[in-house]
């Protein structure tokens, strides 16, 4: 039996990169996985087709995680079609990097809305059904940048640090109701988000990674599946770095 057999899950930003790897792993482990995307419907459909022979199933739909009303509708869809919500993975995120001197208010607001407000939006609407269900696991995708900071990413680092404070607070508020909340802090992972990085920046990162390579989305998915599953029922309020030992 799969690790997530019969679990009803929602993954935001599941069409590409880390989110797509999480959807894949969860479906392989027997879950029914609703997942959202912002615009890449073709990629979402391709992902669903690739999972046709797996144990569980994937159900994609368009929903902007930075929008409060759309997030409410997203949770409602999961409840209407899935009956309950066992696992919420707040994975959707963007970057819009520039040095602070050049950063516009729009760049700040957009990244905070997509990365941090989105986590509030989805968690807010997921809590009542999880309370009714008397259990739940919420996994928030932070970043090592939220722990260490990074030049040129003040907006992104602030959003990811905000996720950590949010995660620890939710864990404290809802632990007594059997709702767990943890953050995953990936390091430097091979996805579209990192493919355009300057070679010099990449080299600097690699020098500081004891395992001497970038991480893979599948490695983040394995950790996320563990945190979603009954194998981690005594883990809450934690920030788990998965970064090849990166320490910057």
With beta carbons less than 8 A apart as the criterion, state whether 182 and 236 touch: yes
Q: 94 vs 239, which CB is nearer to ligand NAP?
A: 94
Phi-psi region of 30 (alpha: psi -120 to 50; beta: other; left: phi over 0): left
Rounded CA-CA distance 53/165 in Å is 39
Given candidates 2, 19, 56, 60, which one binds ligand NAP under the rule CB under 6 A? 19
By CB under 6 A, is residue 93 in contact with ligand NAP? yes
Q: Give the shortest CB-5-to-ligand NAP separation in angstroms.
A: 25
E-strand ranges in the chain read 8-11, 32-37, 57-62, 87-90, 136-141, 179-186, 239-242
DSSP state of 191: S
DSSP state of 7: -
By CB under 6 A, is residue 65 in contact with ligand NAP? yes
Q: Give the shortest CB-60-to-ligand NAP separation in angstroms.
A: 10
By CB under 6 A, is residue 17 in contact with ligand NAP? yes
Rounded CA-CA distance 137/240 in Å is 15
Rounded CA-CA distance 1/77 in Å is 27
By CB under 6 A, is residue 92 in contact with ligand NAP? yes
183-222 mask for ligand NAP (x: CB under 6 A)? ---x-xx-xxxx----------------------------
Which tokens hold the place of 122? 């989805």
Q: Give the shortest CB-73-to-ligand NAP separation in angstroms.
A: 13
| Listed ranges 25-33, 50-58, 59-67, 72-80: which one lies at the site for ligand NAP (CB under 6 A) | 59-67
Q: Give the shortest CB-109-to-ligand NAP separation in angstroms.
A: 13
Q: Give the shortest CB-104-to-ligand NAP separation in angstroms.
A: 18
Q: Does the annotation count 37 as an active-site position?
A: no
| Listed ranges 30-38, 51-59, 79-87, 173-181: which one lies at the site for ligand NAP (CB under 6 A) | 30-38
DSSP 15-55: SSHHHHHHHHHHHHTT-EEEEEESS-HHHHHHHHHHTTTSS
Q: Under the rule (CB under 6 A), what is the footprint of ligand NAP?
A: 12-13, 15-19, 36-40, 64-66, 91-94, 114, 118, 141, 143, 186, 188-189, 191-194
The residues annotated as belonging to the active site are 156
């Amino acid at each position: 039996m799969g690790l997530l057999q019969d679990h009803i899950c929602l993954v935001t930003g599941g069409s590409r990169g880390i989110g797509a790897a999480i959807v894949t792993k969860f479906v392989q482990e027997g879950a029914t996985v609703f997942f959202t995307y912002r615009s890449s419907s073709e990629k979402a459909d391709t992902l669903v087709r690739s999972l046709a022979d797996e144990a569980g199933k994937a159900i994609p739909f368009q929903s902007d995680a930075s929008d409060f009303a759309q997030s409410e509708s997203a949770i409602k869809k999961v409840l209407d079609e899935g009956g309950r919500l066992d696992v919420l993975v707040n994975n959707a995120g963007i970057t819009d990097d520039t040095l602070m001197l050049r950063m516009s208010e729009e760049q700040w607001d957009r990244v905070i809305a997509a990365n941090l407000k989105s986590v509030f939006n989805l968690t807010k609407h997921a809590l009542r059904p999880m309370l009714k269900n008397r259990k739940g696991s919420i996994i928030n995708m932070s970043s090592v940048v939220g722990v260490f900071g990074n030049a040129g990413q003040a907006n992104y680092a602030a959003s990811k640090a905000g996720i950590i404070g949010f995660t620890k607070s939710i864990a404290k508020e809802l632990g007594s109701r059997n709702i767990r909340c943890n953050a995953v802090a990936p390091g430097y992972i091979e996805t579209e988000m990192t493919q355009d990085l300057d070679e010099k920046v990449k080299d600097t990162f690699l020098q500081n990674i004891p395992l001497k390579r970038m991480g893979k989305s599948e490695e983040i998915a394995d950790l996320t599946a563990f945190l979603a599953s009954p194998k981690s029922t005594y883990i809450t309020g934690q920030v788990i770095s998965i970064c090849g030992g990166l320490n910057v």
